Amino acid sequence: MRYARLRPGRLPARPLVMAEMPLRVAEVTRGRYEVIDGHKRLAAWKAQGHTQVPVVVEPVASVVDHKRRLLAANAPPRTLTALDEARVVASLVEDDKLSTPW
């Protein structure tokens, strides 16, 4: 699962304060990690030529829990758009076969 597809977008025009904000990652298979929070920071670090970045590794969890954490990580201050939320919900329904409560 590539969580980055759930958070597309351009880098913000203002500089990011990256030193204080590690990426949040989760192990998806043994030794392979996916970014849950910090896709734009990762892109900015890569653009600046960094080959190592600070991360916080989330506990092992299900794909559904990873998506829940992605949404929670972007709750106030709001950086998640309605379209981003819709992509995550659509992925939960289509990819993870969950049903909507309505």
Q: What is the pLDDT of residue 102?
A: 59
Q: Taking 60 as the threshold, does the pLDDT of residue 11 lie above it?
A: no
Element of type H or E holding 56: strand 55-57
Q: Where are the domains of the chain?
A: 3-94
Residue 8 vs residues 19, 94, 100, 102: alpha-carbon distances, Å: 22, 19, 24, 27
Q: What is the pLDDT of residue 98?
A: 84
Q: What is the pLDDT of residue 65?
A: 79
Phi first, then psi, for residue 55 (nearest 5°) are: -135, 155
**Selection from 6, 101, 23 nearest residue 63 by Cα:** 6
Task: Please give the structure tokens belonging to residue 32.
Answer: 């392979």
Q: What is the pLDDT of residue 77?
A: 62
What would the pLDDT profile of 41-98 be if each residue is shown by its tens digit?
888 888 889 899 899 888 777 778 777 777 777 666 666 777 887 888 888 888 888 8
Type of residue at 23: L
Q: What is the pLDDT of residue 101?
A: 63
Q: What is the pLDDT of residue 24?
A: 86
CA angle 94, 97, 99 (to 5 degrees): 95
Please say whether the beta carbons of 63 and 96 come within 8 A. Answer: yes
In sequence order, the 6+-apart residues with CB closer than 8 A to the CB of 23 are: 35, 37, 38, 41, 42, 53, 54, 55, 56
